[in-house]
């Protein structure tokens, strides 16, 4: 094997190891967290980053060919599908969980939330203007 093949092998191996570390971190988060939304976030982030990292390592191993294109399309599909499916599941959990207020702060009135966000925006813009002057 020449030097280029060794470099490809090492870089591909690094991405595979990073993907496996992300998967094990995901497993820890899924089994360690108590609340379902926290577990789901750990699983979604781990799947998206772990699979993408592992497939990137396999793409480096494979070189430039049609198989690499297919793996790239899988990564693109996962980057679009995983966040959407996680969002749908979290909305379902938030809509059907009767004890949601035990785990997070709920806003009964949307106008109250809008007022708080507007106040934060004005505070941030005032701080930025003060920093600029």
DSSP string, 38-79: HHHHHHHHHHHHHHHHHHHHHHHHH-SSHHHHHHHHHHHHHH
**Tell me, what's the pLDDT at 22?**
93
51 vs 107, higher pLDDT: 51
Distance CA 109, CA 94 (A): 16
Q: What is the pLDDT of residue 133?
A: 67
How many structural domains is the chain composed of? 1
User: Which phi-psi region, left, alpha or beta, contains residue 15 (left: φ > 0; alpha: ψ -120 to 50)?
Assistant: alpha
Tokens of 51: 């699979």
* Full domain range(s) for residue 33: 3-99
State pLDDT tens for residues 18-34: 999 999 999 988 888 88
**Is 54 part of any domain?**
yes
Is residue 23 included in any domain, yes or no? yes
Sign, Cα dihedral of 72, 20, 81, 113: negative
Checking if the pLDDT of 128 tops 80, the result is no
């Amino acid at each position: 094997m020449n030097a280029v093949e060794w470099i490809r092998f090492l870089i591909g191996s690094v991405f595979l190891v990073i993907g496996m570390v992300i998967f094990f971190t995901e497993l820890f988060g899924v089994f360690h967290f108590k609340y379902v939304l926290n577990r789901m976030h750990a699983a979604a982030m781990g799947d998206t980053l772990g699979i993408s990292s592992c497939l990137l390592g396999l793409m480096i191993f494979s070189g430039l060919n049609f198989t690499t294109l297919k793996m790239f399309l899988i990564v693109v599909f996962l980057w679009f599908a995983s966040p959407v499916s996680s969002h749908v599941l979290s909305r379902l959990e938030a809509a059907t969980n009767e004890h949601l207020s035990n785990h997070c702060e709920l806003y009964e009135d949307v106008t109250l939330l809008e007022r708080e966000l507007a106040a934060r925006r004005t505070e941030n813009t005032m701080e930025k203007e003060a920093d600029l002057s």
